[in-house]
Structures are given as structure tokens and as C-alpha cells.
A = this chain, B = another copy of it.
Amino acid sequence: MTDAASQPLAKAFNEETLKRYIASQPHLHQIFGNDLSDVRVDEIGDGNLNFVFFVTNKQAALAFKQALPYSRMSGGARALTCERLAFETAALREFGRLAPDYIPHIHHFDTEQSLMVMEFLSPHIIMRKGMIDGVEYPTFADHISTYLAKCLYGTSDFALDPSTKREMVAYFARNVELCEITERLIFNEPFMASDSNRWTSPALDETVHAIQNNLALKLRVADLKYKFLTRSEALLHADLHSGSIMLTADETKVIDPEFAVFGPMAFDIGILIGNLLINYYAQEAYATADNDRAAYRFSVLKMIEDIWNGFFQKFCALWHEGRTGGAYQGTVFTEQNGAATAALNSVLDDYLDNLLQDSIGYAATEMIRRTIGRAHVIDVDMIKDDEKRADIEKKILGFAAQILQSPKKYKSITEFLEPAKQDI
């Protein structure tokens, strides 16, 4: 962590200074129109790290996100460099270039003020909340699998020339502070005794102890961590859970990639699947007399299958279209004969098979850390009844631990989901 005091301090905005700022920026002024008198500023209080303002008038509605040199949640106690917003903006711009339909439009970025202004998403809501409410998202699997295929393929050595990619790697490798959080919260603390961990106690004590003493499981997690640390395959969102997605029935937008860094493709896919599976298990607690949530629960599993299968198909299509990047470069593999095609297909099959195994591994790691580590998710934490919650958490941990301790290779996403179907 950097010393907060040593950093150039961007001033926290309030309603008045934000309005004055808009008036001072011709580009923003123009968006809101000549008359700024009706501009309304509301601070939205649900970010952990940053300040977010929704700014509206009769002509426009924009979201202003400001990073101060500390974590918002800590009230100033925890120093964090403001540069995290620059990494987030750079990642949004890169993903926006590759998959514009799924990224909010960025209108403005001010390094000095550590301020980013983006499209105000409405009536989109955070996916996690929607899923808890049982809202169906019929287009989501198609959208997010397109986003994943385009962004992961598009920032990999299959698409980029090596020099361009190295420069991007160099830029995002400087995002050390947020990477350190990822490494600690996902791969370290949950698998050792740490004051940061919390779980439903005493109900889960034994399960947690068993996980933290399961050598095979911890070696698998260490292998997944080593891959996170060393494999610069593609630019990751690196925090792609259902709280980083805003959507409607027709539209999907990925937000908050402040943890962005180059890493293994499987990480983004796995984190997403892990969070969807947590929601799947939690649905049991949301059953009411009217709605036992059984249909919704199974639609979540179907969604996971569709995401992987959609990603698989779209990634293959991109691979077959081009391979313009440094790996498997055009000129080396332009043979159009059957043997060459078959050999290249077999390389791709192996690549995607390894990607599936590692995605499954990251999904299971995420399920454990969200249940016994520092940062939980509301899908489960909102369940007030301790016994019911512990019961669900045990199922989540049992499913995830089973995956991580076994050397099993999964032939398909369906095979991986089978035990989850049996669990309920």
C-alpha cells in the first residue's frame, strides 16, 4: 500500500464543485446543454472503493466516478493510489473497442481530478440484485459469451501483434495494488488461518478446517494462482462477477474493471461461473409459497452452460477467421490443406480443453473465497436464517472442494454442473 499522505490529493467533489467542474469542461457542458441550473447531483453510496455521482438534468444523464487516494469503504484509513481509475478507464476503452455493445460509453477522463464520466445506465440494474429477485435474463448468456470471446481473443497473442501486446502488458502490470488484493483475497487468505476470513460459525467450522488442511485442494489453488501470476494471455476484467454487470432483459453492460491486468483467460470465465453457481445454490432460500424458484434455479445452470458453449463457439469462429496476432501467425500457417486444418483444429481443441479445466478451477476457488474469505456476496449473506444459510454454504463449499481436490478432467460444462443438479 502506498502512503496516502504522499500522493497528490484530488479533491473530493460535492454537488457544488461538481457543477462548477461541468461548467469548466466544454465537452461536458455541451452534453448537459446551456442551462446547468437544473443539474441534479446524487451520490450513490454502494461502491467499496470509489465515489460515484449520478448527474442528471432534462437534457442528459451521466455517471461520474471519482477515485480518491484511499478506499471509500475505509473512510480514508486504507491508502490506495488514484491511478486505479486510469486502469479502469483504459480497460473500458479497450473492451469498448472490441465489444462496444457491452461496455458503457466513456465521455471523459481527467487524470488530475481522478474522475471518469460515463454513460448513465438506465433502467439497467446490477445483475446480482436481479437474480436474487428472480428476474430472467434471456439474452445474457449470448451477450456475455460474445463479450468474453471478443475481449479475451482480441487482447491475446492470437489477435495482437507482440509489440502492441507487450506495451499493453507493461501498462496494466503497473496495476499492482489491486492485483495484490486479488491475490490475497482470492488465493491466500481463504486457504489459511487469517483474521480477515469470516464464515457462519460454528456451523461451518469443521468444513473450513477441512478445506484449509486439504493438501490436494491447496496445491490446485496454488497452481491456479501461479497461472494467474505468470500467464499473460489476455487482458482480464479480473473482477467479472454478477455485481460488475448491469443489465436489462435486452442489454448487458460490463462495468468496474479496475482490477484489470493481463492474465489467464480462464480467470474471467471462472469468476463469473463461480458467482452464478453461488446464486444457483442460494435460490433455495428465496423460495416462497408462490414460487419455489426451481425453474429459475435450473435456468441459472442452463445460463452457465450457454455461456461456456457460446464462448467456445464464438472463440473458435474468431480463431478460424484470422489469427492475425503473434501466435500462429498467418504466414506460418496458411496451408489450406486438410492436414494443416486438422492439426490447427487439434491445437485449438487442446487450448479450449485446458481453458475449461482452469475456468472450472477458478469458479470453485471463487465459490470458496466468497463463502469463507473476507468479501462475501449478498446472494448468500442476505439469508437471515443461520441454519438455512449454513446449509446452503455447506453445499457450495462441498461442490467447490470436490472439484479442487480431484484430478478429474471435465469433458464438458454439463458434466461439471451435474453434481450441482444433484445437490438440490
Contacts and interface: CB of A to CB of B under 8 A. Distances in A.
B162 A229 contact: yes
A163 B188 contact: no
A347 B166 contact: no
B166 A176 contact: yes
Contact of A229 (B157, B171, B332): B157
B226 A157 contact: yes
Consensus secondary structure, chain A interface: helix
A180 B160 CA distance: 13
Interface in A277-330: 326-329
A165 interface: yes
Contact of A163 (B176, B223, B328, B331): B176
A327 B229 contact: yes
Given A218-B333, A329-B188, A332-B218, A170 B173 contact: yes
Contact of A222 (B166, B223, B332, B335): B332
A98 to B, nearest CB: 18
A307 to B, nearest CB: 24
Contacts of A171: 170
A326 B229 contact: yes
A232 interface: yes
B173 A167 contact: yes
29 contacts: A157-B230, A162-B180, A162-B183, A165-B229, A166-B174, A166-B176, A166-B261, A167-B173, A167-B176, A169-B170, A169-B173, A170-B170, A170-B173, A170-B174, A173-B173, A215-B340, A215-B343, A216-B343, A218-B332, A218-B333, A219-B343, A219-B344, A219-B347, A222-B328, A222-B333, A226-B327, A229-B326, A229-B327, A230-B231
Nearest to A334: B192
Contacts of A222: 327-328, 332-333, 347
A32 interface: no
A188 B332 contact: yes
Contacts of A165: 229
B157 A179 contact: no
